[in-house]
Amino acid sequence: MKKNEIESNQTIIDKAGNKIWNFFSSLKLIITVFLTLAVVSIIGTVIEQGKPPDFYTKEYGEKIAHYVLSIGFHDMYHSWWFLILLALLAANIIVCTIDRFPQKWETAIEKKYGAEPRFIKNLANSAHFTVSGDVHDIKIKVAERLKKKRYKIINADAADGASIYAWKGVIGRFGSDVTHVSLILILVGAIIGNFWGFRGYVSINENDAVNAPQADFKVRLDRFWIDYYNTGEVKQYNSLLTVIDNNKEILTKQIYVNEPLIYKGTWFYQSNYGVAYDRIREAQLILKNKKENKQIGEPFKVKWYEPFKIPGTNLTVNLVGFISDFGFDEKTKQIYARSLEHNNPAIAVVIYDGDKPISDSWLFLNYPDVFATIPNSDYNLTFMGYSGLYYTGLSVNNDPGTNIVWIGSILMTVGFIFAFMIFHKRIWVNIKRGENGVDIYMGGMINKNKILFEREFSELVESLKAKWEVGK
């Protein structure tokens, strides 16, 4: 290949590279991406995420549901086009940072001393006054005053005088760059969380333990309770949880809204609560004489799966089942709960005569004497009431990107502090022996907040003039 052809191809590659670079660094791109993200975020808020397809068909109709599912609005934050938007945003931030960083760095590390009076006079803030004394002593006194103002200084001597360069707040120039890095970290953390994290839900009855979703440990609910204000209004919902790992109780913590349990990167939040539909603490029963339909003795309580010997008899009753809203399918002969509400409570009991089971029956709270519970005997049991068993509902969240997002958030705060509270200030001083004494030329500039610097520079000049009683 000839030299001219190689140069031509290189030119084409350079032009293409410049176009790509300019595309990713353009203001139009970032505005377009931000507006698009804002619009789709609103859509993602309006349309419930992560529901099954049938939900969207029922909610919006077949036509709209088709578009919702095909475009990916039902699971927007995992869709390919949303990731492309995030990638474009990240690329724009990276390219813009690389574009602007070298110039900032050169300005930050530049130590330009020996500035001539002409350069100083052209600065936005400058001053000139004449004092009497030795050039070296004057240089030392000016430097000391700048040091008191927390400036770092470099000074140099010349044949006809001396010069000083003073600066502080260099780090403030990099506030936007730190913020850009923080945005990248937050985006990376969000993507990691979306793809490798999970959000779930689990309900636990009191004194029960369940496997934590997608984890190798269990969580037990020791107790659930509600705190109330003096007015009777609910103050707080509380769950006392214990983590069990490798059959060992690792930790116990009381959680409530905005105070989760955290273990091995999995967060458990108090979400809701209720009374279990398939289990109770205890049932209140009475023993009746079948013939006379009269109560025998006092009512007694039977705890869940704890056999209870009925006083005055050879009978034992064991509470083995509960359904909050009893239902029976005549076709399949299956018993089921028609709802989670306690509309038609029923308990299942096994009755023993000594050690021999003689009855396995359902007792109904709403229909206490409809069914005989102890056949071939003079007795019947009547279901009079029960104590429900609370369950707690926990939102479970495991997000491996959380720490990255936190680091990004902290960096963003640091970046804002650098950008809006720390300013790069520079001052040049030229000291020369003149016809009427020693001429002091001072000038300075700041990258932001020029009004603040103008006041500070003026106070510095006036303090130096006062030192030598200039103008008096």
Whether the predicted pLDDT of 190 surpasses 70: yes
Do 265 and 283 lie in one domain? The reply is no
Instruction: Determine what percent of the chain is predicted with pLDDT higher than 90.
Output: 47
Whether the predicted pLDDT of 458 surpasses 60: yes
Does 338 fall in a domain? Answer: yes
Write out the residue range of the structural domain in which residue 233 sits: 180-277+393-400
Q: What is the mean pLDDT of residues 196-209?
A: 88
Q: Name the domain boundary from 103, 123, 156.
A: 103
Does 174 fall in a domain? Answer: no
Does 54 fall in a domain? Answer: yes
Do 98 and 165 lie in one domain? The reply is no
CA 142 to chain centre: 51
Whether the predicted pLDDT of 314 surpasses 80: yes
Q: What is the mean pLDDT of residues 30-52?
A: 84
Q: Name the domain boundary from 333, 357, 386.
A: 386
> What pLDDT does 354 receive?
87
Do 157 and 248 lie in one domain? The reply is no
Does 139 fall in a domain? Answer: yes
Do 258 and 284 lie in one domain? The reply is no
Between CA 374 and CA 351 the distance in angstroms is 7
Q: What is the mean pLDDT of residues 119-141?
A: 92
Do 205 and 150 lie in one domain? The reply is no
205-209 LR contacts (CB < 8 Å, sep 24+): 205/276, 205/279, 205/389, 205/390, 205/391, 206/389, 206/390, 206/391, 209/242, 209/244
Do 359 and 313 lie in one domain? The reply is yes
Q: What is the mean pLDDT of residues 228-233?
A: 90
168 and 447 in contact (C-beta within 8 Å)? no
pLDDT digits (tens, 9 = 90+) for 300-313: 999 999 999 998 88
Does 406 fall in a domain? Answer: no
Do 68 and 156 lie in one domain? The reply is no
Do 42 and 124 lie in one domain? The reply is no
Q: What is the mean pLDDT of residues 111-116?
A: 78
Between CA 325 and CA 303 the distance in angstroms is 20
Residue of 136 and 51 predicted with greater confidence: 136
279 and 389 in contact (C-beta within 8 Å)? yes
Tell me the average pLDDT of the chain.
88
Do 191 and 162 lie in one domain? The reply is no
Per the structure, the count of domains in the chain is 4
Does 99 fall in a domain? Answer: yes
Does 145 fall in a domain? Answer: yes
- The pTM of this model reads 0.64
pLDDT digits (tens, 9 = 90+) for 240-250: 999 999 999 99
Do 240 and 291 lie in one domain? The reply is no
Q: How many CB atoms lie within 10 A of CB 88?
A: 18
Q: What is the mean pLDDT of residues 95-122?
A: 83
Do 198 and 292 lie in one domain? The reply is no
Residue 289 banded pLDDT, cuts 50, 70, 90: confident
The sign of the torsion formed by the CA atoms of 115, 121, 126, 130 equals: positive
CATH code, 439: 3.30.530.50
Does 110 fall in a domain? Answer: no
Do 272 and 282 lie in one domain? The reply is no
Instruction: Determine what percent of the chain is predicted with pLDDT higher than 70.
Output: 96
